[in-house]
Amino acid sequence: MKITLTWLAEFLDLGVLFEVDEAVRTGPSHPGVRQLVDAMNELGMVVEGVEHAPASLDGVVVAEVVSLEPIPGADKIRATLVNDGEGEPKSVVCGAWNFKVGDKVPWARPGVTLPTGMTLTERKMRGVVSLGMLCSPVEVGVSSEAGGLLILDPLTPPGVDFGAHFGLSDDIVFDLAIEANRPDANCVLGVARDLAAWLRIDFWSPEAPYSLEIIDDPKPSIDPEATDRLLIASLGGIETATFPLRLGRRLQLGGMRSISPVVDASNYVMLEIGQPTHPYDATSLGGGTIAARFARAGEEVVTLDGSTRALESSDIVIVDGNDQVVGLAGVMGGLATEVSDATTSVLLEAAHFPAGRIARTAKRLNARSEASARFERGTDPAILELAVTRIAELANLRIEGPIRCRIDAVRPAAPIEVRPARVGAILGHEPADELLNVLEPDGPLERIGFDIEQAGAIYRVTPPSFRPDVGSEIEVIEEIARHFGYQRITSTPLTVATTGGLTERQQLIRRLKQLLAGMGIFEAWSVTLVSPEERERTGGAGEPIELADPLVAQESELRQTLLAGLLRSLRTNVGRRLSPVALFEVGPVMQRWSVGGSMASDPSSEQNSLVQSALPNEGLRLGVLIEGAENSLVVIAPVLTAIERVFGLDGVLEVTGIDEELVGWPELHPGRRSQLRLGEKVVGVVGELHPRQIPDELIHLVEGRFGYLEMDFEALVASMHPIRRVEVPSVYTASTLDLSFAIRRDAPLEPLVDLIEEIAGELGADLGVFDRFRPTDDEEHLYVGLRLRLESDQGVITEGTVQSLIDTIDARAAALGAQLRRG
């Protein structure tokens, strides 16, 4: 919301603090302006900008058009002579067509720099001398709309200083962010009221004239749920309506468009006192009156913006005397009853609507307006008379006949009991009694308009009609804190009653990340939202969980595997010729529960105890993507080994082949993939990315292959084996045995490893693959070298023991299709 300093000064005795005239000349750096900015910030009316708005009208005078002639050969401009009250008439060439001889218009002399920034000169156009310029409303800063020259009051004497005569002064514009709980502060009046209480200066609250005649006009009757207070007034004199230029300038600085004197006055009053009103063309209203009710299904209305709005029974509508819908209450008026140039009589509506209803209709119809923004926060039902009389006064209109009160069902606010002890207990300021000064007679709350009565040990606080946001003790306490000053409240260090720390799961996440970073892999942070195409490529066969209303189609559903996000990063890096790619991510994936089995669903786990069935299956996973040479298993395997060791899962985590697609896991290279199992449960996959996962357009940039591992982190945590004892190793000389096997290329290695470990029994201290190659002369076999270390607590390993082990291994390995290569 943008308001100006001179406007504020109409309600606020700023003169006791600083010279307003001087401040508007000086600009935002003036100490008085700075004091106001600080005060508004402290009160929670955040100043987002302060701008100097000089009138820039020095040298602009009122001139009378004394002649108006065409220029031969020019059809867009005409030659005029104007009388500026000094000497001979001046020659000015003008491109506007809305004026005639005898009109009074603003004339900017050569040398003048207008508010728009244009500097005027003497020049010749089509051979005609043109001195300066005759100005439009935009050029002198009094309106957003040009439409030709600004035609002034015919009684204005030629030669007078234009700015001074019409009261167009320098000003300062404050751009304020008003919080949703401060409906009262959405206007100049409200800001002034709060400032007056804070700065302890006088505040002049405008009031409707006492002589105002108001009569009840209860027919046709009105649903009090639709509006609890509705005034209507007939306004006459529309043909002579005007709107002061001085106020037009404020509207313009406030960011409002100029439309017509009556609409401008309505808008001005809304910015000034916070009450939106709506003028109707009275003759287009059936029965010459209006009422409010809830819409009926199937009803429609064409609003001012030309949209046809289909109504629902939750919408409040304004109807005419024939019960025809003529507007959306508090949101937007109807096109058919709009005030136009042909309007001869205006009916003005001033009403109070239920905030929640207006918010709902405005949001549903996507029709938020300045009016709805105010109604949906809550307006002041007591200010309707003032709004009506102020509009009539500003637009030079007559209120014809009495103002008619169509309904008045507003209930006065109930007093709120405020306990002094509670104030201290919530705010904690020391000494606590100081806080209560805010509630004292002539204290800030009373100055704002709260009615405060001390009743024994408690206060009875009745909020004013413009503070519908204050309805409970805690809201009064906030108001006390605000006017006491947040910065004045003391700081009291917290005594924390708990011992801080990370849970085991949280520590494991950190350990895991540090481990992977240490292995040369970068932590990635991918988007959780993916496209259907990405899901197709990266697994998650289950029905996706889609966004109801995605921003972009590329991010329209929740990822079901981590690969979905990582693959996007892989493409980015490959496309930018960055290699080797080595990324990991620890993050959630979301699947429907029907996918089942593939995610942590242990209800006792910490994460899942939080999740109710109303939510999808959301579990933390680990994904690791590493670029390797021709066979990426070489680079991804050490990662899996390292993870197994950290989680103590050596020999617990089973690595087995995959026969068919695993639902909920990424698809991998069919010849280089394994599933990871803990007992019966699949907890991950490991292998090489499927060539299909690399888009064709990138293939020529890819140098290696991509190893991939995705695991269920929750399952890792659940099966974690911590270090429980450290074995003291044997002191006797060990024996190392290198065994070379020829095995079938399509046969798994795991059974052979298991067999050797079984045969070595207690003597087997370590077993590792040390060599692996594919002989060129044997397409069927793979040669694998295994190094077995033998140790014993009992003594040195003898040659005999070694020999008998070799013989046993030789004999039993053959059954697995593995041949021990002797020699």
Q: Which of residues 605-624 bind another protein (CB under 8 A)?
A: 607, 609-612, 614-616, 618
Q: Which is nearer to another protein, 264 or 714 (CB)?
A: 714
Both tokens assigned to 226: 């639709």
Q: Closest distance between another protein and the C-beta of residue 186, in Å?
A: 12
Q: Which is nearer to another protein, 416 or 529 (CB)?
A: 529
Both tokens assigned to 756: 């050797």
- Return the range that interacts with another protein (CB under 8 A); candidates 410-418, 479-487, 644-652, 761-769: 479-487
Question: Cis (ω within 30 of 0) for the bond into 431?
Answer: yes
Report the alpha-carbon distance of residue 232 to residue 384 in Å, rounded. 10
Residue 555 engages another protein in binding (rule: CB under 8 A):
yes
Report the alpha-carbon distance of residue 692 to residue 680 in Å, rounded. 30
* Residues binding another protein: number (CB under 8 A): 97
Q: State CA 342 to chain mean position distance.
A: 43
Both tokens assigned to 69: 């002639």
For the segment 777-796, give every residue that binds another protein (CB under 8 A).
none
Q: Which is nearer to another protein, 363 or 745 (CB)?
A: 363
Considering only 97, 204, 525, 770, the residue that binds another protein (CB under 8 A) is 525
Question: Cis (ω within 30 of 0) for the bond into 580?
Answer: yes
Are 682 and 658 in contact, with CB atoms under 8 Å apart? no
Residue 471 engages another protein in binding (rule: CB under 8 A):
no
Report the alpha-carbon distance of residue 569 to residue 221 in Å, rounded. 65
Residue 239: count other Cβ atoms within 10 Å of its Cβ: 7
Q: Which is nearer to another protein, 283 or 579 (CB)?
A: 579
Listed residue (414, 413, 388, 400) closest to 230, CA to CA: 388
Those residues with Cβ within 8 angstroms of residue 581's Cβ, 6 or more apart along the chain or in another chain: 569, 570, 573, 574, 625, 626, 627, 706
Considering only 155, 496, 726, 731, the residue that binds another protein (CB under 8 A) is 496
Q: Which is nearer to another protein, 249 or 483 (CB)?
A: 483
Q: Is 753 exposed, middle or buried (0-12, 13-18, 19+ CB in 10 A)?
A: middle
Residue 698 engages another protein in binding (rule: CB under 8 A):
no
For 33-49, the DSSP string reads HHHHHHHHHHTT-EEEE
Considering only 127, 147, 255, 550, the residue that binds another protein (CB under 8 A) is 550
Determine the residue type at 711: M
Residue 179 engages another protein in binding (rule: CB under 8 A):
yes
- Return the range that interacts with another protein (CB under 8 A); candidates 301-309, 338-346, 476-484, 641-649: 476-484
Site string for another protein, 400-439 (x = CB under 8 A): -------------------------xxxxxx---------
Find where tokens 């070298």 sit: 785
Map residue 634 onto helix, strand or coil: helix
For the segment 661-690, give every residue that binds another protein (CB under 8 A).
none
Element (H, E) at 614: none
Q: Closest distance between another protein and the C-beta of residue 462, in Å?
A: 19
Q: Closest distance between another protein and the C-beta of residue 359, in Å?
A: 4
For the segment 375-404, give every residue that binds another protein (CB under 8 A).
376-377
Q: Name the phi and psi angles at 702, rounded to 5.
A: -80, 125
Q: Closest distance between another protein and the C-beta of residue 783, in Å?
A: 31
Under DSSP, the state recorded for 432 is G
Beta pairing partners, 301: 309
Residue 312 engages another protein in binding (rule: CB under 8 A):
no
Find where tokens 């306490």 sit: 477
Listed residue (370, 377, 376) closest to 268, CA to CA: 370
Q: Which is nearer to another protein, 550 or 795 (CB)?
A: 550
Considering only 21, 22, 46, 645, the residue that binds another protein (CB under 8 A) is 46
Q: Which is nearer to another protein, 308 or 498 (CB)?
A: 498
Considering only 173, 187, 516, 683, the residue that binds another protein (CB under 8 A) is 516
Report the alpha-carbon distance of residue 57 to residue 426 in Å, rounded. 54
Considering only 366, 487, 594, 604, the residue that binds another protein (CB under 8 A) is 487
Q: Closest distance between another protein and the C-beta of residue 284, in Å?
A: 32
Q: Which is nearer to another protein, 341 or 549 (CB)?
A: 549
Buried b (16+ CB within 10 A) or exposed e, 691-726: eebbeeeeeeebebbbbbbbbbbbbbbbbeeeeeee
Are 8 and 185 in contact, with CB atoms under 8 Å apart? no
Q: Which is nearer to another protein, 129 or 421 (CB)?
A: 421
Q: Which is nearer to another protein, 349 or 469 (CB)?
A: 469
Considering only 124, 510, 511, 692, the residue that binds another protein (CB under 8 A) is 510
CA dist list (Å): 521 to 581, 583, 673, 676: 8, 5, 21, 21
Considering only 74, 545, 634, 701, the residue that binds another protein (CB under 8 A) is 545
Are 171 and 23 in contact, with CB atoms under 8 Å apart? no
Considering only 302, 405, 527, 767, the residue that binds another protein (CB under 8 A) is 527
Residue 588: count other Cβ atoms within 10 Å of its Cβ: 15
For the segment 23-42, give every residue that binds another protein (CB under 8 A).
41-42
Q: Which is nearer to another protein, 503 or 794 (CB)?
A: 503
Residue 506 engages another protein in binding (rule: CB under 8 A):
yes
For the segment 275-294, give every residue that binds another protein (CB under 8 A).
none
Report the alpha-carbon distance of residue 304 to residue 332 in Å, rounded. 7
Residue 457 engages another protein in binding (rule: CB under 8 A):
no
Is the C-alpha dihedral spanning 321, 324, 330, 335 positive or negative? Answer: negative
Report the alpha-carbon distance of residue 346 to residue 490 in Å, rounded. 56
Q: Closest distance between another protein and the C-beta of residue 646, in Å?
A: 16
Listed residue (468, 466, 272, 290) closest to 383, CA to CA: 466
Q: Which is nearer to another protein, 323 or 430 (CB)?
A: 430
Residue 494 engages another protein in binding (rule: CB under 8 A):
yes
Considering only 414, 578, 629, 699, the residue that binds another protein (CB under 8 A) is 578
Considering only 14, 319, 383, 481, the residue that binds another protein (CB under 8 A) is 481
Residue 714 engages another protein in binding (rule: CB under 8 A):
no
Residue 421: count other Cβ atoms within 10 Å of its Cβ: 10
Q: Which is nearer to another protein, 471 or 775 (CB)?
A: 471
Q: Closest distance between another protein and the C-beta of residue 574, in Å?
A: 10
Are 18 and 30 in contact, with CB atoms under 8 Å apart? yes
Considering only 211, 308, 340, 491, the residue that binds another protein (CB under 8 A) is 491
Site string for another protein, 201-240 (x = CB under 8 A): ----------------------------------------
Listed residue (23, 28, 21, 18) closest to 52, CA to CA: 28
User: Order of strands, edge to edge, in the sheet holding 290-294?
Assistant: 290-294, 316-320, 325-328, 332-333
Q: Closest distance between another protein and the C-beta of residue 695, in Å?
A: 16
Report the alpha-carbon distance of residue 552 to residue 545 in Å, rounded. 15
Residue 52 engages another protein in binding (rule: CB under 8 A):
no
Residue 478 engages another protein in binding (rule: CB under 8 A):
yes
Considering only 345, 569, 598, 735, the residue that binds another protein (CB under 8 A) is 569
For the segment 336-375, give every residue that binds another protein (CB under 8 A).
356, 359-360, 363
Q: Which is nearer to another protein, 356 or 670 (CB)?
A: 356
Are 785 and 739 in contact, with CB atoms under 8 Å apart? yes
Q: Which is nearer to another protein, 285 or 530 (CB)?
A: 530
For the segment 66-125, give every residue that binds another protein (CB under 8 A).
none
Both tokens assigned to 493: 């260090």
Q: Which is nearer to another protein, 608 or 801 (CB)?
A: 608
